[in-house]
Amino acid sequence: MLTTRFVDGAPNWLDLATPDMNGAQAFYRDLFGWEYRLAGPDAGGYGMFRLNDKVVAGGMTVDPDQGPPAWSIFFQSSDADATAQAAEDAGGTVRFKPMDVMDQGRMAVLADQAGTPFGVWQPAANKGLDTVNEKGALCWTELYTPDVEAATGFFASVLGWSIEQMPFSGGTYTIASPAGGGEDSGFCGMMPLSADPRASTPYWLPYFAVPDADATRGRVQELGGRALGTAVDIQDVGRITQLADPYGARFAVLTPSER
């Protein structure tokens, strides 16, 4: 499971690129109760989404020619430069070279062997998200990729992930954990891209915890977003549904099973 006791290879940040930050602020405030605050005059327009005064994500306005609206997931690295080199060595690419973000940390944006972007964050003053696995916060991540086996090899090499196969109705689900993480330390699932008939390119999907996935799905549509398929029950996991905000950024929500 996700935790804020961040270790190398695990998700420690996510942010939203959107063409309309004012509209995105209103959408996520109504949906999850988030409030958005700019990070300061030196942050280039970047800001933080907060829930109960705890940071749950970052975000900024991005022009359409800079890329499509999307959520990006960042994984912890104690050496962003070495991780960027490892990604190149494993057949990936470096989209944005490692750079210092004031005194907050060092970041890079990379892409895996299939061209799927992801970030790495080397913490300094900013250790990562303040909260996960709470209502309205990040609770899972998922990669849709054309070659699950190749992706597992790439991320095992670059981020040190441990991989296991979990059976479920209809097949198996590939789960990633930090190196030496042990039981129940999984934070990421991998799915073949063919499992999403709407998608033509690979992508990362963040999940947020909610008390009622069906109600959230309905509210997204009322607020101008889209429901991407129906809500689905996953045994021993919960009820999930995939969604998109009004600008096209994909995400999913999960109502966990009672245990």
Q: pTM score > 0.75 for this model? A: yes
User: Which ranges of 119-240 does DSSP label H, i.e. alpha helix?
Assistant: 148-159, 213-222
Whole-number average pLDDT of the chain: 94
Q: Which residue has the higher pLDDT, 170 or 61?
A: 61
Q: Which residue has the higher pLDDT, 39 or 74?
A: 74
Query: Residue 189: its pLDDT value, please?
Result: 95
Q: Specify whether the CB–CB gap between 188 and 175 falls below 8 A.
A: yes
Q: Specify whether the CB–CB gap between 243 and 20 falls below 8 A.
A: no
> How large a percentage of the chain has pLDDT more than 70?
97
Rounded distance between C-alpha atoms, residue 256 and residue 71, angstroms: 22
Q: Specify whether the CB–CB gap between 17 and 60 falls below 8 A.
A: yes
The average pLDDT across 65-78 equals 94
* pLDDT above 90: residue 76: yes
Q: Which tokens hold the place of 257? A: 């099973």
Query: Residue 24: its pLDDT value, please?
Result: 98
The average pLDDT across 147-170 equals 92
The average pLDDT across 45-51 equals 96
pLDDT band at 158 (very low <50, low <70, confident <90, very high): very high
Q: What is the pLDDT of residues 190-239, one digit of tens each?
A: 999 999 988 999 999 999 999 999 999 999 999 999 999 899 998 888 99
